[in-house]
Homo-oligomer: A and B are copies of this chain.
Amino acid sequence: MPVLRKPYLLYLGDAVLKSDCKTAFGLRDWCGQDVIGEWSHPAAQVSLGLPRLSPAEAARQGAGSIVVGVAPTGGLLPEHWQDDLEAALAAGLDAVSGLHTRLTSLPRLVHAAARSGTRLVDVRNPPGAIPVGSGRKRTGLRVLTVGTDCALGKKYTALALTRALQSKGVAATFRATGQTGIMIAGSGIPMDALVADFLAGGGEALSPDNDPAHWDVIEGQGSLLHPAYAAVTLGLLHGSQPDAIVLCHAPERVTIEEYPDYPIPPLPQVIDEYLRAGRLTNRNVRCVGISINSSILDDDGWRRYRAQIECQLQLPICDPMRGGVDAIAKALLAG
């Protein structure tokens, strides 16, 4: 896994919508200590509320990389964004991107990086030499966030759980498996971009042998219930060999998003599916809590919903954005 050079200068292009800047906001919120400032075109209407620094100024203040924190409409990188990235490379920063358009496919940037001895890092590119999964049990402890569906809080839950463990003095490392997660952590493996034969091997490489009391908190991907992506989920589950899982869910999801023919079964059944599959590589895997993305509920609704599923599942129920995940961290450590 290549390690990204921090701190970051976050680049917003000429973003108009906050929703196009999820990566930048995620980095600001989850690795703020590694972010030195923001830069954008005068036409941009989004700001992160960080110091505004040109690439040259950021380089003078010690920045390591400029990170593309915005998704361009249509997926292509406009010429005037390339001007800014070229200036950053010339100033000695690496350029980092999770976009579908690879930085390394843009001749201007390739030349600029070669001239200044800097790197173009496309975090969607999987590392080259991942071995096939060995199934060998590794030392150290692991918890994996899993979901009833995609995009409902697996990354945030893993980040919040890492912080909760660290705040209790427990050695814990967030292990990233998607683009934004990799930028936050500074390294990781983009599971969905691996060649299929190396999925479990990628999950193993992601969380190597560690101290017996150390927790790897692994960002989950996809869902075992998803007709398109369950294979990615299973490969990560098998390779992670988690001692524990945390199930992530959003109450308003009754079917898989964009797959209305695929209902989400009751949570006890979902937990059972994950534990059955996880037992192949770790017979003692257990579910230690449920992380709910409750943004659709008001305070009363959240209290009622939580009480109801707490009673049903007899597990700690948390929302990382609404009271944190301390109860799940406690259950994890109670072992």
**Chain A residues at the B interface, C-beta cutoff of 8 Å:** 132-137, 191-197, 199-201, 225, 227-232, 234-235, 238, 256, 259, 261-262, 273, 276, 280-281
Chain B nearest Cβ from A257, distance in angstroms: 12
The contact sample of 30 A-B pairs, CB cut-off 8 A, is A132-B228, A132-B229, A133-B227, A133-B228, A135-B227, A135-B256, A191-B196, A192-B195, A192-B197, A193-B196, A194-B196, A195-B195, A196-B232, A197-B228, A197-B232, A199-B231, A199-B232, A200-B228, A200-B231, A225-B280, A227-B238, A227-B280, A228-B238, A230-B234, A230-B238, A230-B280, A231-B231, A231-B234, A231-B235, A231-B238
The answer to whether B262 and A135 have CB atoms under 8 Å apart is yes
The answer to whether B195 and A194 have CB atoms under 8 Å apart is yes
Query: Which chain B residues border A193 with CB–CB below 8 Å?
Result: 195-197
A281 to B231, alpha carbons, bound, how many Å?
A: 13
Query: Which chain B residues border A281 with CB–CB below 8 Å?
Result: 227
Query: Which chain B residues border A135 with CB–CB below 8 Å?
Result: 227-228, 256, 259, 261-262
Query: Which chain B residues border A234 with CB–CB below 8 Å?
Result: 230-231, 234
Query: Which chain B residues border A201 with CB–CB below 8 Å?
Result: 228
A308 to B148, alpha carbons, bound, how many Å?
A: 41
A197 to B326, alpha carbons, bound, how many Å?
A: 33
The answer to whether A229 and B262 have CB atoms under 8 Å apart is no
The answer to whether A196 and B231 have CB atoms under 8 Å apart is yes
Chain B minimum-CB-distance residue to A131: B228
Chain B nearest Cβ from A203, distance in angstroms: 9
7 more contacts with CB within 8 A, not counting A197-B228, A225-B280, A231-B234, are A137-B261, A192-B197, A194-B195, A200-B228, A230-B235, A262-B280, A273-B276
Query: Which chain B residues border A192 with CB–CB below 8 Å?
Result: 195-197
